Amino acid sequence: MDKPFAAREDDVVIDKEIVFNSNLKFSGTSVIVNDKEAPKTLPKSFSILKGAPEKILPKCSHYFSVSGQLIKTKDLSPLYEEVNVQSHSGIRVVAIAVSEEQLNAEERILPEQMTLIGLIGLRDEIRKESKEAIQMAKNAGIQVVMITGDRKETAISIAREVGLLPETHLHDEDGSDRHLPRNSVFTSEEINKMTEEELISILPNIKVIARALPTDKSRLVALCQKQDRVVGMTGDGVNDAAALSRADVGFAMGSGTEMAKEAADIVIMDDNFISITKAILYGRTIFRSIRKFITFQSTINVASTLIVFLGPFLGIDFPLTLIQLLWVNLVMDTLAALAFGGEPALARYMHDKPIRRDEAIVSPEMYSSFLLGGTFIAGMSIAFLTLEAFKDFFIRDGVYYNEGFLTGFFGFFIFITTLNAFNVRTRKLNVLDNIFKNPGFILVLVVIFCVQIVFTWIGGSVLRTVPLNYREWVVVISFSFIIFPFDLMRKVLIAPWLPKRLIDKTGLEHIETKPESPAKKNPNNLPKKQTAKPVSKERTPNPNNSKEQKNKATNKNQSQSQTSKDRKTNSNAPSKEQQKKQNKPKNQ
């Protein structure tokens, strides 16, 4: 075709069309040429087709040479070899052909006689930060799976480039994947031949699924959820909408279709996988902040309840008045929420295991913190109220000043509970860890101290307070710091008795934990590296199964997620019940 003809689009009418989908793996258009000036060699009607080489090439009986001559096809093996070479390099190959036959749009089948125009290689640019983001997800206990419609060889190449599969630098002439980890790469056809039980048994090992269909994504999401895992899926196309909607968290790409965005829970505006890992990091940070606030507030509630309950038995009718308790709740609820709400998102949070779907918000470590801490604060408060040594500091002009003593006790209760916020915000022994990354925390605590001191001057009969002198303030504030050595002792003594997953890896790693039995420590008698591999636990396999089946069922104590090269991912975490089952020793 000459350029003037090619520019007149109105002279070319589309007659029939077959839209591409992942089942057909090709698309085509039949056109009718109405231009009288068109070259005589050009048919009045013809079809243009493009698609996967394995679909197009077998139907091509002829091809155009470089000079444009029509030549009969004799041997296509060199083309198949070149397609394999390019696919191993991570290039997606598309075949383009023409045919004088009209398309069968109803049955959606290819013409029997086609002429090959050529092969086109396409390659998606891998973002520099993609490998780092995937490694970060692995460190977080998330198993990332790439689900793509590309050829298996192309998918393997991309997966190696981004760090999903190890770099073996070994290539088989037949294109086999025997150098890959067992059960790590499959095609849609292969997984569709498997039963549900077979697929579940290898699910934690899967890294790549090639030539995937939309139904494969929904099936994998359903199987993961059936195992009580939390699943995240990313996608950008219309075909991804079902899986995005079904997943626990759906991530749609900002450049994707509107249907995908409507089905998803979160839209990633920059189309970057690292944004998903950042979302996970901030989610974990928020969850930790919620737990910190619950621990902080529960400590105050335990302490105030014990003080009010035990006060009358000690001869003090109202250690804390109703107005004072109301003031405590107003100050602590509002200002403490602001203080913990600004906690920084630390990179070490991405080294924690995922939180199980059925895991309680209040953990054993939190119970130990607010029950022991609240009881200790209540005990120190009762000691303040009952010991004569403290009352001696509130003698003015040789006379015991009861109003000043009760004011000092009220200030002591506020200060000791406020200082406990330093203990609550970190599990590390260093209570000032990353404190300057949350300047709002320091500001809020300073405000609480200042407001409390001011209100002792202006509270009067409403808050049952009177002004205190310098010596009395020094005693009250100094005694409040006793909460720090107590909580340090609690962290040191309680750490060996807590499950390892509840201990901050960067906080108490120097404290020896309670030794475990060999069977419990390594139930599968596997090497240490293998037991630390970030995959999810499965149900214990049938002991009558073969040794190979048993080996497939090991190393399943982390969460799982799925992603495609088009950025389709899911993540999950095992349930508490499954974790208990998997901890039973197995015969290898």
Task: Please state the domain extents for the chain.
Answer: 3-122, 130-275, 277-502
Q: In what order do the strands lie in the sheet with 232-235?
A: 232-235, 249-253, 266-268
pLDDT for 330 equals 82
Hey, what CATH class is 277-502 in? mainly alpha
Residue by residue, DSSP assigns 443-454 as HHHHHHHHHHHH
The tokens describing 75, both together, are 């041997």
Q: Indicate if the alpha-carbon torsion angle 528, 529, 534, 535 is positive or negative.
A: negative
- The CATH number of domain 130-275, selected from 1.10.3720.10, 3.40.50.1000, 1.10.1740.10, 3.40.50.170: 3.40.50.1000
Whether the per-residue pLDDT at 538 is higher than 80: the answer is no
Among candidate residues 577, 567, 540, the one with its CA nearest the CA of residue 137: 567
Whether the per-residue pLDDT at 53 is higher than 50: the answer is yes
The tokens describing 122, both together, are 């396409």
3-state secondary structure of 216: helix
Cβ–Cβ under 8 Å, residues 251 and 569: yes
Kindly report the backbone phi and psi dihedral angles of residue 249, in degrees, each rounded to the nearest multiple of 5, phi listed first. -135, 120
Among candidate residues 265, 234, 270, the one with its CA nearest the CA of residue 129: 270
Cβ–Cβ under 8 Å, residues 535 and 117: no
Whether the per-residue pLDDT at 522 is higher than 90: the answer is no
- The CATH number of domain 3-122, selected from 3.40.1110.10, 3.30.413.10, 3.30.450.20, 3.50.50.60: 3.40.1110.10
Alpha-carbon gap, residue 433 to 436, rounded angstroms? 8
* Pairing relationship of beta strands 26-33 and 45-51 according to DSSP bridges: antiparallel
Kindly report the backbone phi and psi dihedral angles of residue 240, in degrees, each rounded to the nearest multiple of 5, phi listed first. -85, -10
Among candidate residues 75, 76, 95, the one with its CA nearest the CA of residue 87: 95
The conformation of residue 348, written as its DSSP 8-state character, comes to: G
Of the listed ranges 46-50, 58-62, 266-270, 505-509, the one predicted with least confidence:
505-509
CB-based contacts of 418, cutoff 8 Å, min separation 6: 332, 445, 448, 449
Whether the per-residue pLDDT at 14 is higher than 60: the answer is yes
pLDDT for 305 equals 93
- The beta-strand segments (E) located in 376-486 are 395-396, 399-400
The DSSP bridge partners found for residue 109 are 104
Among candidate residues 49, 58, 46, the one with its CA nearest the CA of residue 18: 49
Cβ–Cβ under 8 Å, residues 17 and 105: yes
Q: State percent of the chain over pLDDT 70.
A: 79
Give the number of other Cβ atoms within 10 Å of residue 330's Cβ: 10
Mean pLDDT of the chain: 80
pLDDT for 423 equals 94
Q: Identify the residue with better confidence: 517 or 78.
A: 78
Alpha-carbon gap, residue 206 to 203, rounded angstroms? 6
Alpha-carbon gap, residue 236 to 259, rounded angstroms? 9
Whether the per-residue pLDDT at 252 is higher than 90: the answer is yes
What is the CA angle 380-382-383, rounded to 5?
A: 60
3-state secondary structure of 121: strand
The tokens describing 567, both together, are 């950025």
pLDDT for 350 equals 92
**Average of pLDDT values for 223-236?**
91
**Average of pLDDT values for 405-427?**
94
* Pairing relationship of beta strands 559-560 and 399-400 according to DSSP bridges: unpaired
User: pLDDT tens digits, residue range 144-178?
Assistant: 999 988 888 888 988 988 989 887 655 554 444 55
Is this prediction's pTM over 0.75?
Answer: no
Give the number of other Cβ atoms within 10 Å of residue 491's Cβ: 24
Q: State percent of the chain over pLDDT 90.
A: 43
Of the listed ranges 7-11, 93-97, 327-331, the one predicted with least confidence:
7-11
Q: Identify the residue with better confidence: 14 or 293.
A: 293
pLDDT for 181 equals 80
**Average of pLDDT values for 55-60?**
90
How much of the chain is helix, strand and coil, in % rounded to 5? Answer: 50, 15, 40
User: pLDDT tens digits, residue range 425-452?
Assistant: 998 889 999 999 999 999 999 999 999 9
